[in-house]
A and B are shown apart, each in its own frame.
Chain A
Amino acid sequence: MRRVLAHAGLSVGALVMLYPLLWMITASLRPNTEIFSSPGLIPEHPTLGNYALGWSSTGTSFGIYIMNSLIICAAVVIGNVLTCSLTAYAFARLTFVGRKTLFAVMLATIMLPGHVTLIAQYSIFRKLNWIDTFWPMIVPSFLATDAFFVFLMVQFIRSIPVELDDAARIDGCGVWGIYRRIILPLLSPALVTTAIFSFIWTWNNFFSQLIYLSTRTRLTVPVALRGFLDATGSSEWGALFAMSVVTLVPVVVVFVIFQRRILAGMAHTGLK
Chain B
Amino acid sequence: MISRLRQSVPAYLFLLPWLIGVLGLTIGPMLLSLYYSFTDYALLNTPEWTGLHNYTALFQDSRYLHSLRVTFIYVGVSVPLEMAFALAVAVLLNRGLKGLAVYRALYYIPSLLGGSVAIALLWQQIFGSDGLLNDVLGIFGIHGRGWISEPGTALWTLILLRVWQFGAPMVIFLAGLRQIPDEVLEAAEVDGAGRWQRFWRVTLPLLSPVVFFNLVLQIIGAFQAFTPAFVISGGKGGPSDSTLFYTLYLYQQAFGNFRMGYAAAMAWVLLLIIAVFTGLNFVLGRTWVFYGDEGVRR
- B-contacting residues of A (Cβ < 8 Å)? 3, 6-7, 9-10, 13-14, 17-18, 20-21, 23-24, 27, 35-39, 83, 86-87, 89-91, 94-99, 102, 105-106, 109, 111-124, 126, 140, 142-145, 150, 174-176, 179, 200, 204, 206-207, 210-211, 221-223, 225-226, 228, 237, 240-241, 244-245, 247-248, 251-252, 255, 259, 262-263, 266-268, 270-272
Which residues of chain A are within 8 angstroms of B17 by Cβ–Cβ distance?
A: 83, 86-87, 142-144
Per-residue contact bits, chain B 104-118, to A (CB 8 Å; 1 contact, 0 not): 111111111101111
How many Å from the CB of B36 to the closest CB on chain A? 6
15 inter-chain pairs at a CB distance below 8 angstroms, sorted by A residue, are A6-B95, A10-B92, A10-B93, A20-B132, A24-B122, A39-B132, A119-B260, A119-B263, A120-B29, A123-B43, A124-B32, A211-B255, A226-B231, A228-B121, A252-B113
Considering the complex, give the chain A residue whose CB is closest to the CB of B113.
A248
Which residues of chain B are within 8 angstroms of A252 by Cβ–Cβ distance?
A: 109, 112-113
How many Å from the CB of B101 to the closest CB on chain A? 8
Whether B126 and A140, one on each chain, are in contact in the complex, defined by CB atoms closer than 8 angstroms, is no
How many Å from the CB of B89 to the closest CB on chain A? 7
How many Å from the CB of A247 to the closest CB on chain B? 5
How many Å from the CB of A50 to the closest CB on chain B? 14
With beta carbons under 8 angstroms apart, the residue of B14, B217, B226, B260 that contacts A271 is B217
Q: Is B153 an interface residue (CB 8 A)?
A: no
Whether B22 and A113, one on each chain, are in contact in the complex, defined by CB atoms closer than 8 angstroms, is no
Whether B10 and A272, one on each chain, are in contact in the complex, defined by CB atoms closer than 8 angstroms, is no
Which residues of chain B are within 8 angstroms of A13 by Cβ–Cβ distance?
A: 89, 107
Which residues of chain B are within 8 angstroms of A240 by Cβ–Cβ distance?
A: 121
How many Å from the CB of A177 to the closest CB on chain B? 11
With beta carbons under 8 angstroms apart, the residue of A17, A87, A122 that contacts B18 is A87
Which residues of chain A are within 8 angstroms of B93 by Cβ–Cβ distance?
A: 10
Q: Is B264 an interface residue (CB 8 A)?
A: yes
Considering the complex, give the chain B residue whose CB is closest to the CB of A118.
B267
Whether B105 and A116, one on each chain, are in contact in the complex, defined by CB atoms closer than 8 angstroms, is no
A contact patch SS: helix
Which residues of chain B are within 8 angstroms of A115 by Cβ–Cβ distance?
A: 224, 247, 250, 266-267, 270-271
CA distance A255 to B112 in the complex (A): 8
CA distance A116 to B103 in the complex (A): 38
How many Å from the CB of A241 to the closest CB on chain B? 7
Which residues of chain A are within 8 angstroms of B130 by Cβ–Cβ distance?
A: 36
CA distance A175 to B268 in the complex (A): 40
How many Å from the CB of B78 to the closest CB on chain A? 14
Instruction: Using known A-B contacts A87-B14, A120-B264, A179-B14, determine if residue A267 contacts B171 with beta carbons closer than 8 Å.
Output: yes
CA distance A205 to B251 in the complex (A): 16
Whether A95 and B11, one on each chain, are in contact in the complex, defined by CB atoms closer than 8 angstroms, is yes
